Amino acid sequence: MAGRLEGKVAVITGAASGFGEGIARRFAEEGAKVVVADLNGERAAQVATDIGARAKAIEVDVTDRSDVKSMIAAATDDLGGLDILVNNAGFTHRNRPLTDVGEDEFDRILAVNAKAIYLAALEAVPLMSADGLGGKGGVIINTASTAGLRPRPGLTWYNASKGWAITATKSMAVELAPQKIRVNCLCPVAGETGMLHLFMGEDTPEMREKFIASVPLGRLSTPLDIANAALWLASDEAALVTGVALEVDGGRCI
C-alpha cells in the first residue's frame, strides 16, 4: 500500500460494479476508508466485504435527498469524516433515435446523471468547506463521459446529461475554490460495465469492433483505468488541479 489516500474518507456512488467498484477498491488499497454506495444494496455489501474493514456499504437512490443524507452520514458518523466524494452513479437509454426515448426514461437519466450531483453537493459541500465548522476542504469527482465532449448518434439525451455534468463540474470548481474544494470530472470512453450493451445498442463482436475502431489506442476502458485516474485527482499529487474534464479514452476525443 502506497498510502496516497491514507487517513481520507471517500464516498463513491454506483460502487457496486463497474467503474465505481474499481474506484472503491483502488481507493481502499491506497489507505482510504470508503462508503460503497449503490442502489443494489446486496452487491454493495459484497464489495464492501471483499474490501474489508475500510469499507461500509449502503443502499442508496442517489436521486432521493433523504437517501443522500444517509449516505453522507455513513461517512461522517461511521467512518469519521468526508474528504472525497465521487459522483459515479449513472444511467442511460439504449442507443436509439432521440424521439423514441420515453419521458420517464428521460427523467431518470437527468435525475441520476445531473440531479444526483446537485443533491450530493447540498449535503457534502457544507461539511467539506474550509469556511464550515471544522472544514478543511475536499475533493469532488464527477463521472462524466466522452459522450459529453464528442456525442455519438443515438444517445442524445445521455450525451446531453454528461455535457451538463462537465459544465457543472467547471462551475462548481470556480465557485468552491475559495472553500478549498477541488472539483473535477472523468470522461471515460465506453468500457466493460453493465451499460456497455446499451451504449452499443446490441453487444455483438461486430459492434464492439466498430466501437474499438474509434479509439486510437485500440481498446475500451477498464475499471482500473478509471480508478487510477480518479485516484490521481483525489490525491495531493493533483493539489493544483480543479475544473478539469479528464479524458480517459485512449485518444477517442482527439
Distance CA 217, CA 96 (A): 27
Answer yes or no: are the C-beta atoms of 127 and 72 closer than 8 Å: yes
Q: Which residues of the chain form beta strands (DSSP E)?
A: 9-13, 33-38, 55-59, 84-87, 138-143, 181-188, 245-248
Indicate the SS3 state at residue 221.
strand
Query: How deeply is 71 buried, as exposed, middle or buried, from its count of CB atoms within 10 A (0-12, 13-18, 19+)?
Result: buried
Q: Is 158 a catalytic residue?
A: yes
State how far the Cα of 49 lies from the Cα of 10, in Å rounded to an integer: 16
Half-sphere exposure of 126 (CA within 13 A, CB side): 7
Catalytic residue among 51, 158, 190, 230: 158
Query: Which residue's entry shows cell 475500510?
Result: 54
Pairwise CA distance, residues 117 & 141, whole Å? 10
In this structure, what DSSP letter does residue 238 have? G
Sheet holding 33-38, edge to edge: 55-59, 33-38, 9-13, 84-87, 138-143, 181-188, 245-248
Active site (catalytic) residues: 158
